[in-house]
Amino acid sequence: MATVASTAAAVGTARSEGTPGRLFGRSIKLIVFYALLVVILAVFVTPYLFSVFASFKTLPDILAQSPARPPTSPTWANFKDIFTEYDFGRYLANTLIVTVILTAGQVLFSMMGAYAFARMEFPGRNWLFWMYLATLMVPNVVTLIPLYVMFAKSGLLNTYWAIFLPYVLGVPQAVFLMRQFFMTIPKEVMEAARLDGCSESRILFRIVVPISRPIIITATLLAVVFGWNNFLWPLIVTNSNSLDVLSVATANFNSNFSVQWNLILAASLVALIPMVILFAIFQKQIVRSISLTGINR
């Protein structure tokens, strides 16, 4: 009995001595982990911080001072100039119009295509879906010249139609995301609706859409970000300043003779603010949709 008691006491002592060591090791791991997160955060946030600083400086201050130095005498002249002298309000309105139309069409048609690929039976459905998805492997720059020729022959160049029409009928990314989510909805729900006399359109908009809100919000946000930041295609198909979008108008401040960094960074900040507000409003839905799509088959 004495031997057993002494052994138990020795084990208890060893455990009590080992606990602080484990706690110390765990603390070190947490410190290293959070230090790494801080470094990653600094890498991503620092360029935006420098841009904000520079947007409130004059051009001589930008060229003479360190980008990490906050403005000593902040000025709103850069923002005033882009809206008064360069008609930036028109470019903002153009971007908003194009983004709204592109997003509405892209989400609607992608949703309809995803439903057809997920829950409607027709010959060659899977083959057609994978062929459509394979277009993701083709870089967008490959299709620029054929698209440009098509719009030139149709007489649509230098119009709003030319800016958003190639993207408004759905994109493979959105179709794929929605299809994967729609396939997780039990078939019995849709079969019951069909027995009650619902058409496919009513099933989609009355049953599938309310259930699929997270993934639809994600597809909508992706479309908004793409439409808001789209640069190369609007640059190619428009040659009138009255049709310029924010990205093209901002690039126009860079010429062969001078680079107006103060106006470029002020315009970039104006274009960035709506995206930050959008993410702040819908961040919970974005995180939820990512977690849901991550576990879907």
pLDDT score of 252 = 86
Q: 67 pLDDT exceeds 70?
A: yes
pLDDT in tens, 171-224: 888 999 899 889 888 888 888 888 888 888 888 898 899 888 888 988 898 899
pLDDT score of 3 = 52
Residues whose CB falls within 8 Å of the CB of residue 108, separated by 6 or more in sequence, listed in order: none
Instruction: Give φ, ψ of 254 to 5 degrees.
Output: -100, 110
The SS3 call for residue 56 is: coil
- Look at 13-27, 59-73, 270-284 and tell me which has the smallest mean pLDDT: 13-27
Q: Rounded to 5 degrees, what angle do the CA atoms 221, 268, 65 make? A: 140
pLDDT score of 294 = 47
Instruction: Give φ, ψ of 259 to 5 degrees.
Output: -120, 115
Residue 12: how many CB atoms within 10 A of its CB? 10
pLDDT in tens, 134-143: 888 888 888 8
CA distances (Å), origin 284, targets 169, 214, 291: 28, 10, 11
Q: Look up the pTM and report it.
A: 0.80
Residues whose CB falls within 8 Å of the CB of residue 262, separated by 6 or more in sequence, listed in order: 54, 55, 57, 58, 59, 62, 78
Q: Contact 265/79 with Cβ under 8 angstroms?
A: no
DSSP state of 4: H
pLDDT in tens, 19-38: 776 777 788 888 999 999 99
pLDDT in tens, 101-131: 999 999 999 999 999 998 888 888 889 999 9
% the chain with pLDDT above 90: 31
% the chain with pLDDT above 70: 88
**Confidence band, pLDDT 50/70/90 cuts, at residue 297:** very low
